[in-house]
Amino acid sequence: AQTVTQSQPEMSVQEAETVTLSCTYDTSENNYYLFWYKQPPSRQMILVIRQEAYKQQNATENRFSVNFQKAAKSFSLKISDSQLGDTAMYFCAFSSATSGTYKYIFGTGTRLKVLA
């Protein structure tokens, strides 16, 4: 069975600094997708970035980028120029076509606090 591990329950970063959130996963499949979601206090899940396993190039979305190491099964999220609005829970998620349905498996989350 696939598993997703986020080993950092809480992190803090100064505004404008850079922070990296870690995520590791375990799977025997070769084709899958990885996601980082943000859940602010409103509790609305917001997609931050996604990565297809078949793509070697790391995904980037403005201030957010990932370091995808397929062999190591690692998928870390780097937030550059941190802003107060980045304060939220961040969940790493794994998805593959299991029984024809792309179910998500979420990590336990990292609570990020950006300090003014």
Residues that bind another protein (CB under 8 A): 33, 35, 37, 42-45, 47, 50, 91, 95, 97, 101-104, 106-109, 111
In angstroms, the CA 52 to CA 8 distance is 24
Nearer to another protein, 18 or 76 (CB): 76
> Residue 3 or 14: which CB sits closer to another protein?
3
Measured from the Cβ of residue 34, the count of other Cβ atoms closer than 10 Å reads: 25
- CB of 81 vs another protein, minimal distance in Å: 26
Angle at 57 between CA 97 and CA 111, to 5 degrees: 70
Q: Which is nearer to another protein, 87 or 95 (CB)?
A: 95
Q: Shortest approach of another protein to residue 52 CB, angstroms? A: 10
C-beta of 101: minimal distance to another protein in Å? 5
Q: How many CB atoms lie within 10 A of CB 26?
A: 12
Q: How far apart are alpha carbons 88 and 110 in whole angstroms?
A: 8
